[in-house]
A = this chain, B = another copy of it.
Amino acid sequence: MIKAGIVGGTGYTGVELLRILASHPAVKLTAITSRGEAGQRVSDMFPSLRRRVDLNFVAPEDAALEQCDVVFFATPNGVAMKQAAALAAAGVKVIDLAADFRLDEAGWEKWYGMSHAAPELLAEAVYGLPEINRARIRKARVLANPGCYPTAVQLGFLPLIEADAVALDHLIADAKSGVSGAGRKAAAANLYAEATDSFKAYGVGGHRHLPEIRQGLSRVAGGRDIGLTFVPHLTPMVRGIHATLYARLTSELSEADLQVLFETRFAGETFIDVMPPGSHPETRSVRASNHCRIAVHRPQGGDTVVVLSVIDNLVKGAAGQAVQNMNIMFGEEESLGLTMTPVSP
C-alpha cells in the first residue's frame, strides 16, 4: 500500500482527493493536515465523507509526513515550495496541486509575485500532464500538477500543434469554469446569490494560467513562441471546465482529417475521449470523473478550427490528475482508483 499524506485538506481539491483516495485500492491515507482545524474529524467538516474517511485533521508538525510514500499539497500557492525539499530528501514523493512548481523561476516570480524558495527543486520538478510527459513523470520526485484551465486547453491544442497544423501566433482559448474553481474561501464574489444565474469573464488582462499554457504549448512546439489570448469565465455550475479553442489552419486538413488527427493522437489514452464528428461535449458528461472529452470542428469549411474540450476541474483538473500522476510515479496501473463513472444527471 502507498502511504499517502495530504497537506491542507480543507479546500475543494483536498476533499476531492479524499473522496478519490478513500476508495483507491493501493493507497492508505495516513495523515491530513490543517493547522486551523487540527483535532477536528474530517467527516465533521465534510459530512459526505462520514463512514468513508476516519481521520482527524492534524497540525502539520504532528503529521509525520516524512514517513509517507507520497505527500499531496492541496495548499495555497507558496506553501509547497517551502516544504518539498525536506520531504524529497526523506525520499517522499511530492505532488503539488498548487502552482509552486509549474512555471520556471522567472515566470513564477513575475506571475505569483514571490521569489521561489526552492529553485533547484523547481528546475528538477516535472510538469504532470501525463498525456505529454508520461516518461518523465515516472521518475519524478517532485511533481507539478497542472492547473485546471491549462489541462483542458493544452489537451485540446495538443494534436494541432504537434502536427504543426495551425498558426501559433493567434491562438484563442475562451474558457468557462464552474465556481468550485474559485475554491472554498469565503469571498463575497463567490456567494450563491452573487454567482448563480449570471455569467461573466474575469482576468481578461492576464490570468496566471496564461503563462502556464504558453509554456506548456511552447514546449510542444519545439520552443517556438505561442501567441495566446486566454479569457476565463465564471459559469453558474459547481464543477466543469469547457474550453472553446480557436486556431487558424495552416495546412489543408478537412474536418475528417482533423478527426483522424485527434483520434490517432489520443488512441492509447485512457482518459481522453475524442467524441464523434459533430459532437458538442457537455461538462456534465465528465462530472466527478477523470475524463477529458474533446470534439474538433471546422465550421463552414473555413480556415478556423474549433476545438471543444471539457473536464471536471476538480478531477482531471486537480485531484484526479494528481492521483493519475501518483499511479504513474509508483508503477501502478494509470487508471487505478480512477474508474468511477461520471455522475449524470
Q: Which residues of A are at the interface with B, using a C-beta cutoff of 8 A?
A: 12, 15, 19, 22-23, 46-52, 170, 172, 174, 176, 178-180, 182, 184-188, 190-202, 204-206, 210, 227, 229-231, 233, 235-240, 242, 244, 246, 248, 273, 275, 278, 280-289, 291, 293, 297, 299-300, 302, 304, 306, 308, 310, 339-345
A186-B186, A192-B194, A196-B238 given; 15 more Cβ-contact pairs under 8 Å: A22-B341, A47-B281, A49-B341, A170-B170, A178-B197, A192-B196, A193-B345, A199-B282, A200-B280, A201-B308, A205-B297, A206-B300, A210-B300, A288-B343, A340-B340
Chain B residues within 8 Å of A170, by CB: 170, 248, 304
Q: How far is the CB of A85 from chain B (nearest CB, A)?
A: 32
Is B344's CB under 8 angstroms from A48's CB? yes
Copies in the complex: 4
**B284:A198 contact, CB within 8 angstroms:** yes
A342 contacts across to B, CB distance below 8 A? 48-49
User: Complex formed: what's the CA distance from A172 to B306 in Å?
Assistant: 11
Count chain B CB atoms within 10 A of each CB in A192, A202, A246, A300 and give the residue with the most. A192
The CA of A252 and the CA of B26, in the complex, are separated in Å by: 50
Nearest Cβ distance between residue A335 and chain B, in whole angstroms?
Answer: 10
Contact B238 A236 (CB under 8 A): no
Q: A15-B344, A300-B206 are in contact. Are A197 and B288 (CB under 8 A)?
A: no
Q: Could you list some 23 contacts between A and B, CB below 8 A?
A: A19-B344, A23-B340, A23-B341, A47-B275, A48-B287, A49-B342, A170-B170, A172-B172, A182-B193, A190-B192, A191-B192, A193-B238, A194-B345, A196-B196, A197-B197, A197-B237, A200-B310, A201-B308, A204-B297, A205-B297, A206-B300, A229-B299, A235-B236
**Residue in contact with A280 in the complex, picked from B201, B282, B302, CB distance below 8 Å:** B201
Residues of B within 8 A of A202 (CB): 280
Q: Does A195 lie within 8 Å of B192, measured CB to CB?
A: yes
